[in-house]
Structure 1
Amino acid sequence: AEFEIPGYLVWGALIYAIFGTALTQWIGSPLVNLDFQQQRFEADFRFNLVRVRENSEQIALLQGESAERQRLSERFGRVVGNWYMIMRRTKRLTAFTSSYAQAAVIFPYILVAPAYFANKIQLGGMMQTASAFSSVQTALSFFVSTYRTLAEWRAVVARLDGFETAIKSAAAEAISTSSIGVLSSAGRDNIHLQKLLVNLPNGTPLVSADSFTILGNQRTLVIGPSGAGKSTLFRAIAGIWPFGSGSIAIPAKATLMMLPQRPYFPVGSLYAAIVYPAEVGAFSSDRVREILIAVGLPQLASRLDEEAHWNRMLSLGEQQRLGLARAFLHQPQYLFLDEATASLDEASEAALYKLLEKRLPRTTIVSIGHRSTLEAFHQRKVVLRREGDRFVLQNQAEGVKSSSDAPLA
């Protein structure tokens, strides 16, 4: 006679799989958050290791080894502690899923045993029933058998989702009506700041410029107290600071270069570090060597092919000279110097500003500085003065000075 699997076995397999899935979720659900935290703690620990490596000299000078060891030990302790929690939770999950898989072997025999002992089915039929039950139960238990992998995947997705959300939030902030608009203008020389209000990310007003123009082919010095927002104003002009309102009109196809107090150099050859962000080969090696000698770094002229971490190899003064060498190579239309010579002595600073005037005669230069000696190298001086809860960009009523009277180093 033809044998048919009793219908209650299908329901038994379904109920068994549902029961196992529910218990697996209950036992293993904390793994998602634990895996997420593990990635965060490991990333935090690696980041702080890099910071210690980059600032090892200052730490040694301050004899801060014990303090750094304690800080790193605390962060590593979080990594280890969270890992132990993952292991404990994984042990419980593995114990259940292994027991679940083993019980699934004998569960169909328990269900069919009454029929077998009542002589309703033969031994062969019982074996076929167990085999069919196993196939159905295995298909329905995919969630149970792969839960650990799914938990890790869910933690990764959560971190990526948070990253994507942050990017979208920043992009929305940049194009929102309440952000600073950087526009292309039909003019050829001037940069116009119209009803500009630069805020901190929390919305606190920092710098305002109701109607201000940076004149082309002119050297402008921006002064003001520390914390007044001078560097932040430069970031807004560069288009990387959206917090605020108003507009900044920059001539179409204009080239801007920002030189901060601590310039960035990629790890690699000295040639690639100087010509950055241009491609290797954009400038001849002879041209680069000539520029290095001009900015006072003749000792580096023969090391263009040497690869190193140049931000660590060179002093801050040498890095600033190298940053100006980059400006001489690229010859931007607008050059913004954010205390880009602050680590140099006054004589060297004067020589480099003279060199800027000589080699970049058509470049509009805007400098931030605190030294009074810089006034001799600029034709216009503007100041950030506090008015209420913000600093206002204003012209300072002083005579125009010529750099021809400035001393050379």
Structure 2
Amino acid sequence: MTELPPLLPARRLSWQFLRLAAPYWNSADKWRVRGYTALLLLFTLAQVGLAIWMSYWSRALFDALEDKSLNALLVQIGTFVLIFLLTMAVTALHMHVKRWLQLDWRRWLTEKVLDRWMAQGHHYQLQLIGGEHDNPDGRIAEDIRIATESTVNLAHSLVYSLLVFGSFIDILLVLTGSAYVPGTAWLVPGYMVILAFVYAGAGTLFGLVLGRPLVKATNQLQTAEANFRFGLGHSRSNSESIALMRGEGMERRNAANFFAELGQRWNRQTVGYLGIMAFSSGYGALLPVFPILLMAPQYIAGSMTLGILMQAAQAFQKLTSALSWPIDNLGELAHCRASVQRVLSLYNDMQVLDEQAAEPQEHRISLLQSNQSELVLHDLCIANPDGQVLIEGLNATIHRGERVLIAGDPTVTISLFKVVAGLWPWGHGEVWLPAGAAISFLPQRPFLPLASLQSVLSYPHAADTFSAKAMHHALECAGLAWLAPRLADVDSWDRVLPLRAQQRLGMARLFLQQPAWVFIEEATDAFDPKGEDCMMDMLQRELPNASLLTISFHGGLDRHYQRKLVLNRPAEDKFLSCSTPSCALKVPG
């Protein structure tokens, strides 16, 4: 939970976002996507066409009123009904197409970022490296939504404004013609168009100056909102520990602090809105009146009809509104820009991880596939992400069916666990994985998804991969026979079960899935010595041919293992300079 860095320059931000998100229009479903995009443009053109038609209808209506012609008035009423029905139809179809594009683009971009986040342990490794990627779940769920929805909205409104600009500048030029500067013989052609540019330019200039604080305040508020959500989610995920420690008061204070920060930044955004909203309200209130007052002398002099006056006033408003697109969309631009940067920061940091993985092997640990049934650690050096060496010169070979107890410094042993799992690339050396069989990893606290118990046991395989009989047997072997009637029940198993039962459920998963290689990280530390001893015997019985590597710091387990690997840190702090072995391979007895 950190402050966002200064916003990237708009051109660089836009270019990076286009590189990330624009391939959507060339995706597997590209023809459908392009078809909907073309429809969106078509309906936008229809909206502009209806606005032009409405302008000429307004002229005809006021001319009919000025002539006091009932027949002409009835014709205009019928014409208005047609414009009204077409406007409703075009607006509804336009909204449907636009919302389909927004959702589908969000789906595509979410899948792209989510696939990268869930690939090669990035969701874990991001927690260990520097960078701007806090709250990745919020960035994927919320910021991608804002980025895609706002981009489509802004693109549509910009295209609409450009089309309106091109259409109504011609109308205004034709209707108003030229005029003399009061008190002079200087004839100004297209004076109303010039005044529209001056009016919109002044409004945009003042709006940008007044709205500058709003961009920064919006960016900061989004960060505070994300931090508040993260704090509440963290409390929810640790509710049992908080309740046992009577920590509710502290959590309330923490939540209050997060909300206080949110409130401060909300108030800053409010201050940012004050100037821009006050100016916008005055700017908008003057807009309908300003052109009528300017052209009133021509109407009074009889050089234009009432219909032309009203059509020209509407054309002036349309043209000015089109020219005012930047100021009218300043708030959404700020919101969109902040979310785009949050998405890009997350994606770019994941690219850094990919680039590190592609570095020469001497700069990272290489995971290689062996053609032998053995796990080989060759000249392995494990370091922290900052380069501090945890262990160096580690060489060991684990054959199929061997059982090895790993002890020593907890930081080193757990890092080795993560190295073999492919989650820890920092260091150098080689790890040769056994041929034809993946290693099943059982962490200290097994992951228990919110799903049925049969899905939990089968994870990460489908729930119907194993038979109910095999599941019953696995639960019985793990000492959880009492859970067998609940195989179809869906529950938050990581909350309703105590840690010991959760660890037994992790063991039941091994008994069910029968892996050839098993790497266990303190997965029985919640057991009493007798229970832990019995569980090791059960592992020997149910997985007699499996290779077993266990990280444990409990005494009395040596009899279950053929070898003991003791790992310790170097005597002095070192930074990625591996030369002297700092581990020993021992055989019990």
Residue 398 (1) aligns with residue 567 (2): no
* More helix, by proportion: 2
Which of 218, 221, 234 aligns to 2:402? It is: 218
One-letter identity of the residue aligned with 1:203? G
Residue 183 (1) aligns with residue 371 (2): no
Q: How does 1:117-132 map to 2 (within 5 A)?
A: 121-122=303-304, 124=306, 126-132=309-315
For the 8 Å contact 1:384–1:392, the answer to whether it is kept is no
1-structure distance, mates of 2:386, 2:175:
74
Q: Given the superposition, is the C-alpha separation of residues 209 and 338 from structure 1 closer, same or farther in structure 2, using an over 3 Å criterion?
A: farther
Task: Give the structure 1 partner of residue 573 of structure 2.
Answer: 389
Q: C-alpha displacement at 1:113, in angstroms?
A: 6.2
2-structure distance, mates of 1:224, 1:239:
21
1-structure distance, mates of 2:312, 2:234:
64
* More strand, by proportion: 1
1-structure distance, mates of 2:330, 2:436:
55
For the 8 Å contact 2:375–2:433, the answer to whether it is kept is yes
1-structure distance, mates of 2:497, 2:332:
47
SS across alignment from 1:300 = helix
Q: Given the superposition, is the C-alpha separation of residues 215 and 85 from structure 1 closer, same or farther in structure 2, using an over 3 Å criterion?
A: same
Q: C-alpha displacement at 1:236, in angstroms?
A: 0.9
One-letter identity of the residue aligned with 1:389? D
For the 8 Å contact 1:49–1:72, the answer to whether it is kept is yes
SS across alignment from 1:29 = helix
Q: C-alpha displacement at 1:371, in angstroms?
A: 1.8
1-structure distance, mates of 2:510, 2:238:
27
Q: Given the superposition, is the C-alpha separation of residues 4 and 11 from structure 1 closer, same or farther in structure 2, using an over 3 Å criterion?
A: closer
Unmatched 5+ residue regions in structure 1? 401-409
Q: Given the superposition, is the C-alpha separation of residues 64 and 216 from structure 1 closer, same or farther in structure 2, using an over 3 Å criterion?
A: same
2-structure distance, mates of 1:42, 1:269:
33
Which deviates more, 213-222 or 167-176?
Answer: 167-176
One-letter identity of the residue aligned with 1:394? C
Which deviates more, 330-339 or 22-31?
Answer: 22-31
Q: C-alpha displacement at 1:210, in angstroms?
A: 4.2
For the 8 Å contact 1:259–1:337, the answer to whether it is kept is yes
SS across alignment from 2:524 = coil
2-structure distance, mates of 1:3, 1:38:
47
Q: How does 1:296-335 map to 2 (within 5 A)?
A: 296-335=479-518
One-letter identity of the residue aligned with 1:379? Q
Task: Give the structure 2 partner of residue 41 of structure 1.
Answer: 224
- TM-score w.r.t. length of structure 1: 0.89
Q: Given the superposition, is the C-alpha separation of residues 109 and 301 from structure 1 closer, same or farther in structure 2, using an over 3 Å criterion?
A: same
Give per-residue Cα distances to partners, 1:313-350, cap 9 Å, x unaligned: 11111111110111111222210011111110111111
Q: How does 1:42-191 map to 2 (within 5 A)?
A: 42-109=225-292, 111-112=294-295, 121-122=303-304, 124=306, 126-177=309-360, 178-187=363-372, 189-191=373-375
Give per-residue Cα distances to partners, 1:67-91, cap 9 Å, x unaligned: 2221111011122222233233223
SS across alignment from 2:338 = helix
For the 8 Å contact 2:569–2:582, the answer to whether it is kept is no
Q: Given the superposition, is the C-alpha separation of residues 289 and 138 from structure 1 closer, same or farther in structure 2, using an over 3 Å criterion?
A: same
Q: Given the superposition, is the C-alpha separation of residues 152 and 233 from structure 1 closer, same or farther in structure 2, using an over 3 Å criterion?
A: same
Q: C-alpha displacement at 1:392, in angstroms?
A: 5.0
Q: Given the superposition, is the C-alpha separation of residues 346 and 396 from structure 1 closer, same or farther in structure 2, using an over 3 Å criterion?
A: same
Q: C-alpha displacement at 1:381, in angstroms?
A: 0.8
For the 8 Å contact 2:564–2:588, the answer to whether it is kept is no
Q: C-alpha displacement at 1:162, in angstroms?
A: 1.5
Task: Give the structure 2 partner of residue 378 of structure 1.
Answer: 561
One-letter identity of the residue aligned with 2:177? I
For the 8 Å contact 1:386–1:392, the answer to whether it is kept is no
Q: C-alpha displacement at 1:3, in angstroms?
A: 6.2
For the 8 Å contact 2:409–2:569, the answer to whether it is kept is no
Give per-residue Cα distances to partners, 1:242-273, cap 9 Å, x unaligned: 22222212134421111111111001211211
Q: C-alpha displacement at 1:398, in angstroms?
A: 3.4
2-structure distance, mates of 1:358, 1:102:
84
One-letter identity of the residue aligned with 1:349? E
Q: Once superposed, what is the RMSD of the aligned Cα atoms? A: 2.4
Which deviates more, 4-13 or 251-260?
Answer: 4-13
Which deviates more, 320-329 or 298-307?
Answer: 298-307
Which of 430, 436, 451 aligns to 1:247? It is: 430
SS across alignment from 1:182 = strand
Q: C-alpha displacement at 1:140, in angstroms?
A: 1.2
Q: Given the superposition, is the C-alpha separation of residues 16 and 179 from structure 1 closer, same or farther in structure 2, using an over 3 Å criterion?
A: farther
For the 8 Å contact 1:13–1:133, the answer to whether it is kept is yes
For the 8 Å contact 1:182–1:239, the answer to whether it is kept is yes
Q: Given the superposition, is the C-alpha separation of residues 140 and 214 from structure 1 closer, same or farther in structure 2, using an over 3 Å criterion?
A: same
- TM-score w.r.t. length of structure 2: 0.63
2-structure distance, mates of 1:297, 1:323:
11
For the 8 Å contact 2:378–2:429, the answer to whether it is kept is yes
1-structure distance, mates of 2:210, 2:536:
69
Q: Aligned pair count?
A: 396
Q: C-alpha displacement at 1:27, in angstroms?
A: 2.1
Task: Give the structure 1 partner of residue 381 of structure 2.
Answer: 197
Give per-residue Cα distances to partners, 1:114-166, cap 9 Å, x unaligned: 7778x594465655543332232122112222222222222221211122122
2-structure distance, mates of 1:277, 1:193:
27
2-structure distance, mates of 1:393, 1:354:
32
Q: C-alpha displacement at 1:292, in angstroms?
A: 0.7
For the 8 Å contact 2:374–2:435, the answer to whether it is kept is no
1-structure distance, mates of 2:336, 2:212:
13
1-structure distance, mates of 2:516, 2:408:
25
2-structure distance, mates of 1:295, 1:128:
83
Residue 5 (1) aligns with residue 173 (2): no
1-structure distance, mates of 2:469, 2:357:
42
For the 8 Å contact 2:215–2:331, the answer to whether it is kept is no
Task: Give the structure 1 partner of residue 78 of structure 2.
Answer: none
Task: Give the structure 1 partner of residue 115 of structure 2.
Answer: none
1-structure distance, mates of 2:435, 2:222:
44
Q: How does 1:21-36 map to 2 (within 5 A)?
A: 21-36=204-219
For the 8 Å contact 2:454–2:488, the answer to whether it is kept is yes
2-structure distance, mates of 1:230, 1:373:
18
One-letter identity of the residue aligned with 1:384? L
For the 8 Å contact 1:194–1:247, the answer to whether it is kept is yes
One-letter identity of the residue aligned with 1:269? S
